[in-house]
Copies of this chain bind each other. A is one copy, B any other.
Amino acid sequence: MAFSPLVDELVESLRCLPGVGQKTAQRMAFHLLERARSGGVRLADALSNAMDGVRRCESCQNFSDTEVCGICENPERSNGTLCVVESPSDLLAIEQTSDYKGSYFVLMGHLSPIDGVGPDDIGIERLLRRVRSEGVTELILATNPTVEGEATAHYISDRLDGSGILITRLAHGIPVGGELGYVDGFTLTHAFRGRKPLLD
């Protein structure tokens, strides 16, 4: 850009955001400069504070401002049920929509030998230590219904073989309100296999 090194650097920096290319970065920079300078200043502060201050919870591995996060610190949530998810957004989705009141473990990924991601990289040993030391009675493996998510769930399940802990997986099936004709075959197969007697 011929006219401003500061604008150039802003556009370049915005490209570190996922899904933001040159054109979008330029549009964002101009928008902030023209109409949202106070928003831009607020974002600068928020970024600086978060990049510096957000760590991983020592108990569940989720993002946290403190050594141990608010959920892990809440004694009411240590009820013997532990839910394993792949990412913070999965945790948020469960928190926002379900009535789950136990605690979590966030893998921050899934097993992926092809990408060199092994058990240590997603904290499996830490998870197993927690399961044993906290008297967990049910471990909910809420990894994604993808090849990697399933493999990760099976790996964890195998490692706890013979422990006597109840290991569960979220139900697959037709989405509530969904139409059969629009459901993919994988889901439909799962829904058939998981069919239940109609209760009256």
Contact = CB atoms under 8 A, between A and B. Distances in A.
A10 interface: yes
Interface stretch (A41-49, A119-127, A171-179, A181-189): A41-49
Interface stretch (A11-19, A135-143, A154-162): A11-19
Q: Chain A: interface secondary structure? A: helix
A89 interface: yes
Interface stretch (A64-72, A110-118, A145-153, A192-200): A64-72
How many subunits of this chain does the assembly comprise?
Answer: 2
A88 B3 contact: yes
Interface of A: 1-7, 9-10, 12-14, 16-19, 24, 26-34, 36-37, 39-54, 57, 62-65, 69-71, 87-89, 91-92, 95, 108
27 contacts: A2-B70, A3-B71, A3-B88, A4-B69, A7-B65, A7-B88, A9-B46, A9-B49, A10-B47, A13-B42, A13-B45, A14-B46, A16-B36, A16-B42, A17-B32, A19-B24, A26-B92, A29-B50, A30-B88, A33-B50, A34-B108, A40-B50, A41-B48, A43-B44, A44-B48, A44-B51, A45-B48
